[in-house]
A and B are shown apart, each in its own frame.
Chain A
Amino acid sequence: MGETGILAALPMNEFVFFINKGLLAGLIIGSVYALGAVGVTLIAGILRFSHFPHGDMMTAGAFFALILTAIFPTAGALIGLPTPFVLMPIAMAITALFAIGIDRVFYKPLRTANVKPIVIVMASIGVMLMMQGLIRLFGGTEARQMEAGSKDIYKIPFGGRDIILTEPQLLLILFTAAVVVALHFFLTRSRMGKAMRAMADNADLARISGISTDHVVRTTWVIAGSLAAAAGTLLALDVSLKPDLSFNALLPIFAAAIVGGIGKPFGAIAGGLLVGFTETLAVFNWSVLLRPLQPFMPEWLELPQKLAFVPTEYKIVIPFFILIAVLIWRPTGIFKGSLVK
C-alpha cells in the first residue's frame, strides 16, 4: 500500500486546503477566463479588432439568464439542476443574436467603409460604455443572486478532509471541458470551422477562395456571444450578478487571449487557465503549505502568518504582469498566434 503511505506522509490538512484554495479556485476562475478569451481571440483573429465590450457581453448574457429564470422559475426543478443553468442555452442564443445585431449596427458599416482598425477599436470602446450604461439602466446597480436558495455542495473525502466544490463550480468546469471538445471538432472537422481558421490565417485568400465573409463573421459572433453568455451566467451563479461582474474579468481575458496567441482558440483556453492559476497561486497563502516544514527550517526563519506573492487586493497586477511579459518576450503568444498589433 505505497499510495496510502505517501498520502499519510503528507500533511493532509494543508494539502487539501491547497487543492481547494489554490488548484480548484484557479481552475474555476481560469475556466471563466477561458470561455471569455475564446471569443476575444476569435474576434481579434477574424475581425481584427479588440472587442472591449466582451466583459459586458458576459454580464448581459447573465442578465438574460436571470430574466429567463424569473419568467420560468421552475424549469430547473424538472431535471434537478439550477434553473439559470437549464435556461442558459436560451440566454446564449439571445446573446448571440444580440452580438450579431451590435455588429450589424456598429461594426459592419465601419468595415464596409474600410476604416483603419483603430477606428473600429474606438467604436468597440463606445459600445462597451453604452452596454455598461444599459445594464445599469435596466438591471440597477445592486448585486443579485441568480437563484434563491442555497447551492448544492459536493464534498469529496480526501485523506480525512473534504475537497469542496459547489454545484455551479462543477457545472462550470464540466461545461468548459465540453466546450474544449466541441471547439476542437468544430474547428478541425467542420467546413465552417475550417473556413474560420482560413479567414483568421489569411482573409484575402479566404475571400479569393470563395469563402463567404458574412457567414464566417456571423458564426464568429455566435460562438463569441454564446460563450460569453455562458461564462457570465456560470460566474454569476458561482458568486452573484453585479453590473460590473465581468468588466473586472476583461483584463485577465485579454491577457489570456494574448498569452495563447491571437486567433488561437485553444491557446485562449490554455491562456485562460494559465492566468487563472497564476492569479490564485499568487494570492495563495503559502505559509499554510510551508508551516508543516517548520521543524526542518533553521530557527531564525520564522514563517509569517500570511505569505503570498501579492496581497489579494492587488490580484489584478498578475494578468497585467503576464500581459506585459508576453508582449515583451513573446509577442506572438506561447502558441505562435498572429503578432499583437
Chain B
Amino acid sequence: MSLLEMTDIHGGYGGANILNGVNISIEADEIGVIVGPNGAGKSTTLKALFGLLRVSQGSIVFNGGPITNFAPEKLVREGLSFVPQEFNVFPTMSVHENLEMGAYIRRDDFRHLLDQVYGFFPPLKDKRKQPAGELSGGQRQMVAIGRALMTEPRLLLLDEPTAGLSPLYMDEIFDRIIAINKSGVGILMVEQNARQALAIAHRGFVLATGRNRFTGTGAELVADPDVAKSFLGGGE
C-alpha cells in the first residue's frame, strides 16, 4: 500500500484543465520528484494534492484513506505538509514564531520538534529572534521547510525549494532534504534543477502538458536518453 496514490488527476483553475491525467505514487520514506518543462502542471499537481485547486476527475488516496478535494486545514491534520514556492514565511514574525505557527494544530509540547528543526538547520538557531522577512533567500527557505516539519508530517510537499538560490545554498537544501527524508519523512517535490533532483529521487515523474510522460526511478530517468534529450537539457 503506497503512502500516496494519485490516480488520473484532472483539474484546473476554472478555465481549461491544466492537469489531464496525472499519476503519482509514493511509498512512505521515499523521495519523489516531479520535473518537466514550464507549464507542464508540476506545481499545479502539488496544489491539487493539497486542496488548493479543484480536482474534477481522478482520486487521491493518502495513508489508505481518500483525500480528494480536502481543504488544506484538514490535510495538515492528516499528515501532509506543504511548502509553497513563494511567500512561504510569515515575514514580520520571528523565525521562532514561524516555527510555532507550523505547530499551530498541536496542543502538546513540541519543544523537541523545535530542537529537531534547529538541528536540521543550524543557521536558524542563531537567528531565531529575527523576523523571517529579513533573512537571506536560503535561510528563508530553511524557515519555510522547518515550519512545515513542525506538524511531524508523513509526507512533505516542496514546490521548487531551490528556486532562486545560489548554487551553494542549492546543495545545502538538497542535502537537508535527504537528511529529512532519512529521518522518516516522505518527500514529494517539484524541481527545476531536474538532473540534481532526480539524482536524489527514489521515484521521478516527468510531466508534460498535464500528464505523465515518463515515470520511473530517479536513476532510470536520468539514464533514459529520451528523457535526457527532451527534459534534462544536454548531457553534462
Contacts and interface: CB of A to CB of B under 8 A. Distances in A.
Contacts of B72: 207-208, 210
Contacts of A194: 93, 97, 100-101
A209 B76 CA distance: 7
Interface string B76-115: 1100001010011111110001001110110000000000
A204 B72 CA distance: 10
Given A197-B93, A198-B90, A202-B91, A211 B84 contact: no
A205 interface: yes
B73 A205 contact: no
Given A194-B100, A194-B101, A202-B87, A209 B147 contact: yes
Q: Which of A198, A207, A209 has the most CB of B within 10 A?
A: A209
B101 A211 contact: yes
Contact of B91 (A195, A201, A207): A201
A44 to B, nearest CB: 15
Contacts of B62: none
A198 B147 CA distance: 12
Contacts of B151: 210
A42 B97 CA distance: 19
Interface string B33-52: 00000000000000000100
A212 interface: yes
Contact of A202 (B76, B89, B97, B100): B89
Interface string A204-227: 111111111000000000000000
A341 interface: no
B25 to A, nearest CB: 23
Contact of B93 (A198, A207, A208): A198
How many A residues are at the interface, by size bracket? 10 to 19
Contacts of A211: 73, 101, 104
A205 B89 contact: yes
Contacts of B77: 210
Contact of B84 (A195, A205, A210): A205
Given A194-B93, A197-B92, A201-B91, A206 B101 contact: yes
A194 B92 CA distance: 11
B50 A208 contact: yes
B103 to A, nearest CB: 9
Interface in B20-74: 50, 72-73
Contact of A210 (B88, B92, B93, B104): B104
A191 interface: yes
Interface of A: 191, 194-195, 197-198, 201-202, 204-212
Interface of B: 50, 72-73, 76-77, 82, 84, 87-93, 97, 100-102, 104-105, 147, 151
7 contacts: A202-B87, A202-B91, A205-B87, A208-B82, A210-B72, A211-B73, A211-B104
Given A194-B100, A201-B90, A202-B87, 10 more contacts: A191-B104, A194-B93, A197-B92, A202-B91, A205-B84, A208-B82, A209-B102, A209-B105, A209-B147, A210-B76
